[in-house]
Amino acid sequence: MHPRITGSTRIYGLIGDPIKSAKSPMLLNRLFAEAQSDAVCIALQVGTGGLADFVRGMRAVGNLAGLLVTMPHKQSMLDIVDVLHPTARQVGAINVVRCERDGRWVGAVFDGSGCVQGMQRHGVTLLGKSVLLVGAGGSGRAIAFAVAAAGARSLTISDLDPRRALELAQQVAKEGPCTAYAGLADPAGHDIVINATPLGMNPDDPMPLDAQRLDPATVVVDIITRSEPTALLLEAQSRGCQTLDGQPMHLGQALLALSFLGFEDIERRYWAGL
C-alpha cells in the first residue's frame, strides 16, 4: 500500500551510501499506511563528501520531520545535530534524527536496544549470559552498551582494530556490573555470539569468526539483513545452533525510532497485534 502524499505530509528521509538494499523505507511506509499516518519515508543517497551540503539544504525544508541515518554517517551526524539524546552521547553514534518545530535537530541511536529487543522477542535472554560481540563500529558500539544494560554477565569484544575493541570494552565496563573484555573472535565458551561486522553481506566475504568452534547450545545473531542466510548463519544452523538474522533488530530499532519521532501509537499497536 503506497502512502498518500499531501501538502501536509511529514517527510522522513533515510540517508546513507549505499542505500540500494535499504529496507527501512519499505517497513516504515507500511507501518505509516497501516496507521493511516500522513507521513512518508524516502531513501536519499548521500555520500560522505555531500553530507554538509545536504544538511545545509534540508534545514530549510519545513516539512522534514526526521532522518534515519545509516553508514557512513552515524558518527559524522554527532557534530551536526543540535541536541544529543543520552543514547547518542553514550554510544558516540546516531541513527535517527528528530527535527523539532523550533528548528533544532535531536539525534539518538537505537541499534543496540533494537537488537536486544529483537532477541528478547524471539525468546533469547541476555541476563547472566556470556556474549561475544564481533565488530566495534557504529552498530557494534550500540549493541555493546545495550547487551551490558540487559544484564549480560560478560562481554568479549573483538574487532580488526584491537585498540578500538579495548576502548569500547573499557567504556562498557564503566557503565555497570557486566565484565567487558577485548579479545579474539573465538565463539568457544560463549552463550551468545553476535556478528556486528559487514562480513557476510557479499557471497565471497570471509567468515567474521571461526564457526567450527561454535557449540550447538550457542545462540548466533548476525545483524546483516539479507533474503538468504549469511554463511555464518548457515554454518551455525548446520551445527545445531539457534540463529537470528538482522530482521528482528531492524524491526526493533525501527519501532523504537518511530516512538522517538512521535509515533508511540504505531509501536504500541504493532506489539499489541502480535
Per-residue pLDDT reduced to its tens digit, 232-251: 999 999 999 999 999 999 99
Give pLDDT tens digits for 113-135: 999 999 999 999 999 999 999 99
Starting at the edge strand found earlier in the chain, the sheet holding 154-158 runs 179-182, 154-158, 130-134, 192-195, 219-222, 242-244
CATH number at residue 184: 3.40.50.720
CATH number at residue 33: 3.40.50.10860
**Residue 144 within a domain:** yes
> 122 and 105 in one domain?
no
Q: What is the mean pLDDT of the chain?
A: 93
How much of the chain exceeds pLDDT 70, in percent?
99
Verify whether residue 20 is a known catalytic residue. no
> 188 and 66 in one domain?
no
Distances (CA, A) of 141 to 35, 91, 92, 191: 32, 6, 8, 19
How many other β-carbons are positioned within 10 Å of the β-carbon of residue 27?
A: 17
Tally of domains in the chain: 2
Would the pTM of this model clear 0.85, i.e. be above it? yes
Whether residue 274 has pLDDT greater than 80:
no
Tell me whether the omega of the peptide bond preceding residue 177 falls within 30 degrees of 0, making it cis.
no
What integer pLDDT is reported at residue 146 of this predicted model? 96
Q: Which domain holds residue 81?
A: 10-109
What integer pLDDT is reported at residue 272 of this predicted model? 76
What integer pLDDT is reported at residue 268 of this predicted model? 84
Whether residue 185 has pLDDT greater than 60:
yes
Whether residue 3 has pLDDT greater than 70:
no
Cell readout for 241 is: 545452533
Marked catalytic residue, from 20, 23, 74, 129: 74
> 167 and 123 in one domain?
yes
Give pLDDT tens digits for 36-77: 999 999 999 999 899 999 999 999 999 999 999 988 999 999
Tell the burial category of 60 from Cβ atoms under 10 Å away from its Cβ (0-12, 13-18, 19+): exposed
What integer pLDDT is reported at residue 236 of this predicted model? 97
Q: Of 109, 131, 153, at which residue does a domain stop?
A: 109
Q: What is the mean pLDDT of residues 150-172?
A: 97
Give the pLDDT band of residue 192 (cuts 50, 70, 90): very high
